[in-house]
């Protein structure tokens, strides 16, 4: 390694997407290695609307590991971050930057500290899982086989764009538990995704402890993992290949509902969805039924937010109209921050202001006035997006979030 007195800083910046499962991962067969009890399939969301930019830096001048999230320093004393850092360090290899005259050997990593800073381009309340830091650290430390699972199992599916399968694997050491790209984001580019971020003050059970309790106490989870999911995985892969939206919707909704059913079958029961989530399901089910062919699929993770996947732009616009009719914003909310991401959908439906929302007629499938109820303020905001690409490294240092001389946030 270069002389300790030399205060060089070596950095890597990456942009990583998030993903949403259409066949859910819930339950581990190995807690330490993060190995799942069933395969899962997800769609990667367009990083233009939802992504995490992370810069990681290493320098002999750093005297401790430090981390900043959206500009605020967070404590690294929690076990998870530390374990995660040590796991990646253990896989580090020699790194050489000829231009800067830096050489770090595999052994040096044990004594070097890192700075990590991440910034989300979406409001963090969305609570969508992302483990961008691991990807960037693996690149910085020249980790050869980054399985992407450190920190969070579902994160490994964000290593690719489009639709991705996380194969649970059979090996005890997890060597065959890997993410596999199924189709890239261009394969089914008609799909439009709307995320309804639901207002909730409730602190949710973390996925890690939730799934542990389910595996320990639910009798249904074994049936799900052994009998139901393997068949669904085959059917889902075929539906994706053929762009068969009806089958895709049927499987996606059924799997989300079964995931929440095993949560309810856990002792004590875990409730992730709330009344607003249930109202959204009701609205989508009613509309799909009235159309005869499904227009939109819904799926919910470990929280009340709805992820709605529309078959195309036309159905996405009709969906947004329905959502805005039932869930108008509070009077103090600015429309510009109520529908974010790809705002062009708002132009499609010709809504420019709150008055436009108030003037929306009830959806035609609703005959009963009581069902045409409005639930003002139950949704924080909507994010409009689509399937997107996998992570990318950003070579332009001016886009780094850490200062190249000090390794501190800019």
Torsion of CA 32, 37, 42, 48, to 10 degrees: -10
Residue 34 vs 45, nearer CB to ligand DP6: 34
Phi and psi, residue 353, nearest 5°: -150, 180
**Nearest approach, Cβ of 80 to ligand DP6 (angstroms)?**
9
The distance of closest approach from Cβ of residue 89 to ligand DP6 in the complex, given in angstroms and rounded to an integer, is 20
In angstroms and rounded to an integer, the radius of gyration of the C-alpha atoms of the chain is: 22
Report CA-CA distances (Å) from 311 to 76, 138, 289, 290: 42, 36, 15, 16
Tokens 């895709």 -> residue? 248
Q: For ligand DP6, give the closer residue by CB, 158 or 249.
A: 158
Q: What is the bridge-based pairing of β-strands 35-36 and 40-44?
A: unpaired
Q: Which is nearer to ligand DP6, 27 or 60 (CB)?
A: 27
For ligand DP6, the closer of residues 229 and 317 by Cβ is 229
DSSP assignments along 261-288, one per residue: HHHHTSSS------HHHHHHHHHHHHHH
Least distance to ligand DP6, CB of residue 127, Å:
10
Q: How far is the C-alpha of 208 from the C-alpha of 149, rounded, in Å?
A: 13
Widest pairwise Cα distance in the chain: 77
| Nearest distance from C-beta of residue 185 to ligand DP6, angstroms | 18
- Closer Cβ to ligand DP6, 129 or 318, answer by number: 129
How far, in Å, are 108, 111, 135 from residue 58 at the CA level? 11, 11, 15
Nearer to ligand DP6, 20 or 384 (CB): 20
At closest approach, how far in Å is the CB of 135 from ligand DP6? 15
> How long is the chain?
410
CB of 79 to ligand DP6, least distance (A): 13
Both tokens assigned to 355: 């008055």
- Which token pair is 164? 């991705």
Residue 127, φ and ψ in degrees, nearest 5? 55, 25
Q: For tokens 């989870």, what's the residue? A: 221
Kindly state the smallest distance separating residue 225's Cβ from ligand DP6, in Å: 13
- CB of residue 14 to ligand DP6, shortest distance in Å: 19
Q: Where on the chain is the footprint of ligand DP6 (CB under 6 A)?
A: 21, 24-26, 34, 40, 129, 152-154, 207-208, 301-302
Residue 154 or 276: the one with the smaller Cβ distance to ligand DP6 is 154
Per the CB < 8 A criterion, the answer to whether 296 and 196 are in contact is no
What is the enclosing helix (H) or strand (E) of 358? helix 354-358
Minimum CB distance to ligand DP6 smaller for 154 or for 385: 154
């Amino acid at each position: 390694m270069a002389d300790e007195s030399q205060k060089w800083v070596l950095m890597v910046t990456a942009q990583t997407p998030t993903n949403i499962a259409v066949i859910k991962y819930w339950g581990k067969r190995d807690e330490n290695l993060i190995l799942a009890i069933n395969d899962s399939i997800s769609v990667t969301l367009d990083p233009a609307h939802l992504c995490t930019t992370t810069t990681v830096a290493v320098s002999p001048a750093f005297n401790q590991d430090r981390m900043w999230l959206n500009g605020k320093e967070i404590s690294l004393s929690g076990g998870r971050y530390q374990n995660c850092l040590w796991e990646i360090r253990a896989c580090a290899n020699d790194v050489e930057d000829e231009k800067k005259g830096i050489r770090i050997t595999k052994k040096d990593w044990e004594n070097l500290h890192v700075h990590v800073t991440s910034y989300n381009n979406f409001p963090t309340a969305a609570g969508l899982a992302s483990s961008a830091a691991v990807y960037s650290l693996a690149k910085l430390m020249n980790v050869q086989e980054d399985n992407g699972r450190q920190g969070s199992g579902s994160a490994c599916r964000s290593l690719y764009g489009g639709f991705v399968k996380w194969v649970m694997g059979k090996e005890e050491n997890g060597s065959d538990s890997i993410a596999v790209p199924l189709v890239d984001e261009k394969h089914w580019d008609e799909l439009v995704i709307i995320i309804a971020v639901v207002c909730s003050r409730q602190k949710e059970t973390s996925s890690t402890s939730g799934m542990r309790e389910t595996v320990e106490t639910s009798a249904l989870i074994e049936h799900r993992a052994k009998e139901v999911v393997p068949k669904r995985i085959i059917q889902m892969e075929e539906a994706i290949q053929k762009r068969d939206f009806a089958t895709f919707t049927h499987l996606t909704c059924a799997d989300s509902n079964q995931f929440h059913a095993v949560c309810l079958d856990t002792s004590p029961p875990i409730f992730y969805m709330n009344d607003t989530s249930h109202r959204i399901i009701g609205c989508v089910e009613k509309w799909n039924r009235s159309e005869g062919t499904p227009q939109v699929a819904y799926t919910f993770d470990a929280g009340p937010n709805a992820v709605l996947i529309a078959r195309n732009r036309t159905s996405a616009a009709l969906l947004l109209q329905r959502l805005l009719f039932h869930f108008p914003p509070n009077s103090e909310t600015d429309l510009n921050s109520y529908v974010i991401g790809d705002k062009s959908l708002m132009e499609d439906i010709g809504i420019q202001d709150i008055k436009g929302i108030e003037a929306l007629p009830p959806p035609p499938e609703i005959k009963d006035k009581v069902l045409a109820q409005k639930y003002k303020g139950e949704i924080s905001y909507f994010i409009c997006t689509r399937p997107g690409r996998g992570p990318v490294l950003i070579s332009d240092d001016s886009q780094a979030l850490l200062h190249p001389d000090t390794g501190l946030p800019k």
